[in-house]
Amino acid sequence: GIQVEQSPPDLILQEGANSTLRCNFSDSVNNLQWFHQNPWGQLINLFYIPSGTKQNGRLSATTVATERYSLLYISSSQTTDSGVYFCAVVGGASGTYKYIFGTGTRLKVLA
Amino acid sequence: EAGVTQFPSHSVIEKGQTVTLRCDPISGHDNLYWYRRVMGKEIKFLLHFVKESKQDESGMPNNRFLAERTGGTYSTLKVQPAELEDSGVYFCASSQQLTGELFFGEGSRLTVL
């Protein structure tokens, strides 16, 4: 099945700093999503981005499907950005319809 | 429009007891998924329903876990008998299309003592 790797595994930032999170996947995919798991455990949809670039406020994401990676950019980070960021992909040669999650990037933003 | 709802939000049971988790997907979403996160690790796939049919149950850990989706609406996930290693957060998600955008519920935290 598809392997999904995220980097870095852990990240500590000062408030106001920018960061880039990476998601690599081992096969072609039909779709890719980024999620933020907040400190209360909720999984919040950030981007649904099988290819191209999208922006939403201070966050943006780019997926280069042909090179099998996606990037999540966080600008001017705030303490509320803390939590775990997951990417999840669906598809691949096997034709599976289940989203496979990466191992996550744990982000802590310090005031 | 209501999102994905899960009940209970937290359940504490003794080893050997039974627990049933419920998920109500977004109205009109034929695809319903169960995932779990154990010990703060990866989010692992359990199974996928399309309407009332099990499309993929390759992630179900063993026969102590039973998922149903009668009538193609809400789903239940029963763990019987529960073991210590079943503790974790069980998430339900739904999507309108097979590989469409996935929406998650808030999760059901299961603690087995």
Distance CA A71, CA A64 (A): 9
- Give tens-digit pLDDT for B11-53: 999 999 999 999 999 999 999 999 999 877 889 999 999 999 9
pLDDT given for residue B10 in this prediction? 96
Handedness of CA A84, A42, A56, A111 (dihedral sign): negative
Residue type, A43: L
B18 to B47, B65, B68: CA distances (angstroms): 19, 10, 15
At A59, is the secondary structure helix, strand, or coil?
Answer: strand
Q: B17, A57 in Cβ contact below 8 A?
A: no
**Would the CB atoms of A41 and B107 count as touching at under 8 Å?**
yes
Residues of A in contact with B59 (CB under 8 A): 98
Burial category of B63 from C-beta neighbours within 10 Å (exposed 0-12, middle 13-18, buried 19 and up): exposed
Instruction: Average the pLDDT over B49-70 and give the result.
Output: 94
**Would the CB atoms of A101 and B48 count as touching at under 8 Å?**
no
A-facing residues of B in 27-86 (CB < 8 A) are 31, 33, 35, 41-45, 48, 55-56, 58-59
Give the pairing of strands A105-110 and A83-90: antiparallel
- Give tens-digit pLDDT for A61-91: 999 999 999 999 999 999 999 999 999 999 8
pLDDT given for residue A18 in this prediction? 97
Q: How confident is the model at residue A94 (pLDDT cuts 50, 70, 90)?
A: low
> How far apart are the CA of A87 and the nearest CA of chain B, in angstroms?
10
The residue among A40, A48, A46 whose CA lies nearest residue A74 is A46
Distance CA B40, CA B38 (A): 5
- Give tens-digit pLDDT for B4-13: 999 999 999 9
Distance CA A109, CA A26 (A): 30
pLDDT given for residue B1 in this prediction? 67
Distance CA A19, CA B2 (A): 33
Length of chain B: 113
Q: Where are the beta strands (DSSP E) in A58-99?
A: 59-64, 69-74, 83-90
A83 reaches B (C-beta below 8 A): no
Best residue in B89, B102, B106 to probe A by mutation, most A CBs within 10 Å? B102
Distance CA A11, CA B39 (A): 20
